[in-house]
Amino acid sequence: MHTPKQSQIQILIQSPDLPIATRALTLNPNSTLRNLKLSLLPPQTLDSFFFTLHGKALHDSSTLQKSGINPLSTLVLRFRLPGGGGDGGATGAESRDCYLNMYAVKKPDKVDPNEQRLSKWTTCSLSFEPLRHPCVVDRLGNVFNKEALVEGLLGKKLPKAFGHIRGLKDMVPIELSVIPGLESDNGGVSAGARYQCPITGLEFNGKYRFFALKTCGHVLSAKALKEVKSSACLVCHEGFKEEDKIPINGSEEEVAALRERMEEERAKLREKKAKKVKNGEVGVNGDEDVYLDSRLSGKKHGIDAKAVGRVDAKMEKNGKAVNGGVVVKGEISGVKRLKAAQVPPNATKEVYASIFTSSRKSEFKETYMCRSLPLGRN
């Protein structure tokens, strides 16, 4: 029986404990991590090393797919420190029961805080792929690849943690400055940070605070904004206010303040819409009714709605249109009014008037369903 071919995924391998450069490998998602180590290390040293993903240790028997390893994820190969009992060292256990109780409860996996921090600042918060242009930031300071976030919105696959993102209005496009020498590294193969502050040169790796400006989208370090005090962007010189600064990957207090500000802005927007609905300016459905109302009133295309309304005005004998005291003579909204009395050349008045239904009295009766033909014509 023919089995379908598994799709290959590309991952990045780096190791701070071995003198090997970061490399990109294309593997089968069903291959185990032990087989991956066999392709990198001698067989006798396999038990001395283990893989971590975002600071979390991975078991050798698990496959790439079951471990949650996405394409372009970065695996870190680390050296396993000996000791802890069972290898001839002291365990501190006075009896066999005490020794077994040490392993009765499974201890949580150790997470490297430095690796977790670097992963948070260099990868997309949704797809965990390396950040690449174009990037966006939400109102709470999380950084995303725009393509991955838009796909999540269209497919309605956003996690509950990102439930506050409802559309494009909740995204702020940002401009990240690439570190000189890494401009051609589009795939993010290089280890460490790829972006920096364009003013101070501090790396975008989580060790320093950064802010995104809502007005222009440039990402600057807190040090640059503190040393050069200005109400304009230090890159494009576009003005901004204090509330236009969004802290990227901020602390819990900063995220709570941003969430409170977001709820206040949405409450004000709901009140504004409610007033418009009450005044009859907009329908109850919100933005869609605003758009439809602008189309129907002609505001979107710059048409004067008052002038269009004059079409329904009463006509006087002298050819003037009157509507509430407003008089339009000769034309409406720049369009001249055609008169049936103006007979084209080479045409008689009777022939020209016959094309207008108002030129003669109706000889047949119109009903709701259809027009009945006059006698003698059926």
Please give the pLDDT value at position 49.
Answer: 83
State the pLDDT at residue 229: 85
What CATH number has the domain spanning 9-79? 3.10.20.90
137: which 2 tokens?
């930031």
What are 108-142's pLDDT values in tens digits? 667 778 888 888 899 999 988 889 889 999 999 99
How many Å apart are CA 192 and CA 128, to the nearest integer? 14
Q: Which pLDDT value is given to residue 214? A: 92
Contact (CB, 8 A) for 179 and 196: yes
Single-letter residue type at 159: P
What 3-state DSSP class applies to 119?
helix
Answer yes or no: is pLDDT of 38 > 50.
yes
What's at 226, amino acid-wise? K
CA-to-CA distance for 148 and 121, rounded, in angstroms? 16
Pairing label, strands 74-79, 9-14: parallel
CA-CA-CA-CA torsion for 260, 264, 266, 268, nearest 10 degrees?
180
Q: What is the pLDDT of residue 323?
A: 45
Taking the mean position of all CA atoms in its chain, how far away is CA 287?
19
**Mean pLDDT of the 317-343 span:** 48
The CATH number of domain 114-181+193-262, selected from 3.30.70.1290, 3.30.40.10, 3.40.50.1100, 3.30.2290.10:
3.30.40.10
State the average pLDDT over residues 215-236.
Answer: 91
CA 1 to chain centre: 44
Q: Among candidates 28, 135, 20, 139, which has minimal Cα distance to 77?
A: 20
Report the pLDDT value the prediction gives residue 30, as an integer from 0 to 100: 85
For the segment 153-164, the average pLDDT, to the nearest whole number, is: 89
Q: Output 12 or 30, whichever has higher pLDDT.
A: 30
Spatial separation of the C-alpha atoms in residues 114 and 94, rounded to whole Å: 37
Q: Which residue has the higher pLDDT, 318 or 62?
A: 62
- pLDDT, residue 218, reads 94
Q: Tell whether the model's pLDDT for residue 262 goes beyond 80.
A: yes
Write down the pLDDT at residue 355.
75
Biggest alpha carbon–alpha carbon distance for the chain: 124
Mean pLDDT for the stretch of residues 64-79: 80
| Average confidence score pLDDT of the chain | 74
Report residue 98's pLDDT band, with 50, 70 and 90 as the boundaries.
Answer: low
Tens of pLDDT, residue by residue over 282-305, are: 554 444 444 434 444 444 445 454
More confident position, 77 or 237: 237
Percent of the chain topping pLDDT 70: 65
pLDDT score, position 321: 44
Chain mean position to CA 333: 42
Alpha carbon 208 to its chain's center:
25
Ranked by mean pLDDT, which of 15-19, 67-71, 75-79, 173-177 comes out on top?
173-177
Nearest to 251 by CA among 204, 209, 192: 209
Q: How confident is the model at residue 2 (pLDDT cuts 50, 70, 90)?
A: very low
- pLDDT attached to residue 363: 55
Q: Are 68 and 53 in contact (CB under 8 A)?
A: yes
DSSP assignment of 302-371: T--HHHHHGGGSEEPTTSEEEETTEEEESEETTEEPP-TT-PPTT--HHHHHTTSGGGS---S-B-SS-B
Bigger pLDDT: 165 vs 46: 165
> Bridge-partner residues for 1, per DSSP?
none
Confidence band for 374, pLDDT divided at 50, 70 and 90: low
Compute the distance between CA of residue 341 and CA of residue 349 in angstroms, rounded to an integer.
8
For 56-68, the pLDDT digits (tens) are: 888 888 888 888 7
Domain locations in the chain as residue ranges: 9-79, 114-181+193-262
**Cα 203 to Cα 307: distance, rounded to the nearest angstrom:** 59
- How far, in Å, are 222, 279, 327, 349 from residue 339 at the CA level? 71, 40, 18, 13
Which residue bears the tokens 């680390």? 78
Higher pLDDT, 96 or 346: 346
| 138-152, 183-197, 288-302: least confident range | 288-302
Burial of 94 (0-12, 13-18, 19+ CB in 10 A): exposed
Q: What is the pLDDT of residues 342-362, one digit of tens each?
A: 677 777 777 777 776 655 555
